[in-house]
Amino acid sequence: MNNHAYGFIKEDPWRIFRIMAEFVDSFETLSHVGPAVTIFGSARTKPEDLYYKASVELAKGLAKHNLAVITGGGPGIMEAANRGASKAKGRSVGLNIELPHEQTGNRFANIPINFHYFFSRKVCFVKYSLGFVFMPGGFGTLDEFFEVLTLVQTERISRFPLILFGSDYWRGLLNWMKATLEKDRLISPGDLELVTVTDDVPTAIDVIIDYQRRIGPPETVGAAFA
């Protein structure tokens, strides 16, 4: 074993403490935020884009219903959602992770939390949300979509609303999933009904508010991964 590999392994026990610290700090902050909705989407979306504008309005509407808005804390759709929530004087949470090329924290998150590890950040997206909105995005958005969808489908977490916003963007993927995954029985009948597709901000808000009414008091939020 070369010295570099040995040094990396030798440091592993200390990495555990850094991981624990990320969980302790983020759990402590987010446990006081209250019921929240996570909005995912591309870091590359510009302010003039219709999905950027829709994200601002969606986050405003959620904040007016006293729901916190959680994003990845970066630019693009994340910035739009944090902007909308902060404009409505709501709780605007940004779970930021610094990346070499495209991710820096946006100024609209009034509850910023910084992460070093992707996996601890992902846990926080799910643990403290009662609904998820997926705006158009790239690999990161698709990764989060399939991860949360898998958790719901396998009943590891509750059947939270999973909203795909932008039918033109999502149509091709959903058609492929139906024609290939469902047809070949690689997913169960009805699995595709776990998601709601819409192009309408009020509809997305109504789906989430209806779910919140049905699940009862906000103490039930945060039970994922308990």
Per residue in 165-219, pLDDT tens? 999 999 999 999 999 999 999 999 999 999 999 999 999 999 999 999 998 765 5
Higher pLDDT pick, 36 / 100: 36
Q: How far is CA 169 from CA 4, 109, 173, 177, in A?
A: 45, 27, 8, 14
- Model pTM score: 0.90
Per residue in 78-102, pLDDT tens? 999 999 999 999 999 999 987 776 5
Per-residue confidence (pLDDT) for residue 119, from 0 to 100: 93
Asked if 163 and 195 touch (Cβ cutoff 8 Å), the reply is: yes
Asked if 193 and 166 touch (Cβ cutoff 8 Å), the reply is: no
Given pLDDT bands bounded at 50, 70 and 90, which one contains residue 24?
A: very high
Asked if 70 and 40 touch (Cβ cutoff 8 Å), the reply is: no
Per residue in 98-110, pLDDT tens? 777 656 779 999 9
Residue 225 lies in a domain: no
pLDDT at position 29 over 80: yes
Residue 54 lies in a domain: yes
Residue 169 lies in a domain: yes
Q: Determine the Cα angle at 163 with ends 157 and 166, to 5°.
A: 155
The tokens 């997913």 sit on which residue?
187
Per-residue confidence (pLDDT) for residue 72, from 0 to 100: 95
- Structure-block tokens of residue 93: 């949470």
CATH of the domain at 55: 3.40.50.450
User: Domains in the chain: how many in total?
Assistant: 1
Which of 105-119, 129-143, 187-201 shows the lowest per-residue confidence on average (mean pLDDT)?
105-119
Per-residue confidence (pLDDT) for residue 102, from 0 to 100: 57
Asked if 114 and 146 touch (Cβ cutoff 8 Å), the reply is: no
The whole-number average pLDDT for the span 129-154 is 97
Given pLDDT bands bounded at 50, 70 and 90, which one contains residue 2?
A: low
Residue 226 lies in a domain: no
Whole-angstrom distance, CA of residue 62 vs CA of residue 187: 32
Arithmetic mean of pLDDT over the chain:
91
Per-residue confidence (pLDDT) for residue 9, from 0 to 100: 56
Per-residue confidence (pLDDT) for residue 220, from 0 to 100: 45
Domain that holds residue 166: 3-220
Which residues have CB under 8 Å from 187's CB, separation 6+? Answer: 153, 177, 181
